[in-house]
Structure 1
Amino acid sequence: MESKRQQKFAGVIQEELAQIFRKEGSAYLPNTLVTITRVRVSPDLAIAKVYLSFLNSPNTSLAVNTVNAHAGEIRYKLGARIRHQVRVIPELSFFVDDTNEYVERMDQLFDKIAKERKDQED
């Protein structure tokens, strides 16, 4: 379970990264909208796992690899924004947030189960 400190720090990182991607995201991924869905921070605040969702991206794994390739540059820009608020700028690791795909898959399974029950009742 994350502490209040971790949650607050994760919120700051999420807001600042969202602004970075909104203003400069087209340099990394042209014609792609990047959304930061969640940030998880280690207890020592040195590592941040950033979960991203992509819109208009045909290949999400390629998109996240591209963002990870620019992680140092993004970290530098993040540091310039939050340097007066924190002691350590965390190492950033980017991951694909597949929550929406999971929800869709579960909905399909529930629909299939409901249909099978209905067919059995008839």
Structure 2
Amino acid sequence: MVKYRGGRINEEVRKVVSNIIQNEIKDPRLNTLISVTRVEVTKDLGYAKVFVSILGTKEEKEENLKILKKSAGFIRRGVGREVKLRITPEILIELDNSIEQGMHIDSILHKIKESGEKND
């Protein structure tokens, strides 16, 4: 039972943070699609790394990430209100580039497939 607790906490914090970003942060500068891809809470519940994927140009991503990092205290307060834990974890927001990396790998594989078909 203990080994599943971390996964449940991660998922619950992910849902709450996603809801807070989508519905409660009223900053008009957040104008792109932001999704929380995963959350990693440390075993002592001291820190929660929140990985976000931001759709937009490089400048928009940097600006929105900066805004989210400044909103970490507000997000932490919301997590403390919604998730019943002994300690409310400190929120650390990181940019998740796994979607772009996956698309890049897919395009490389597609190019390899096309060059293989031309050689046949």
Report the secondary structure of 2:18's partner residue. helix
In 1: Cα distance, 2:28 partner to 2:53 partner:
14
Q: Which runs of 5+ in 1 are unaligned?
A: none
**Normalising to structure 2: TM-score of the pair?**
0.84
Which residue does 1:65 correspond to in 2? Answer: 66
**Normalising to structure 1: TM-score of the pair?**
0.83
Report the secondary structure of 2:51's partner residue. strand
List per-residue Cα deviations over 1:68-117 (Å, max 9, x = no partner): 122122212221222xx210001111111212211110111101111221
In 2: Cα distance, 1:34 partner to 1:113 partner:
32
Does the 8 A contact of 2:29 with 2:64 survive in 1? Answer: yes
Does the 8 A contact of 1:71 with 1:92 survive in 2? Answer: yes
Which residue does 1:79 correspond to in 2? Answer: 80
In 2: Cα distance, 1:55 partner to 1:24 partner:
19
Q: Point out 4+ residue stretches in structure 1 off by more than 4 angstroms.
A: none
Q: Which runs of 5+ in 2 are unaligned?
A: none
Residue 25 of structure 1 deviates from its aligned partner by 2.8
**Cα–Cα, structure 1 residues 28 and 17, in superposed 2: closer, same or farther, change >3 Å?**
farther
Q: CA RMSD of the aligned region, Å? A: 1.9
Question: How many residue pairs were aligned?
Answer: 117
In 2: Cα distance, 1:78 partner to 1:105 partner:
34
Report the secondary structure of 2:26's partner residue. helix
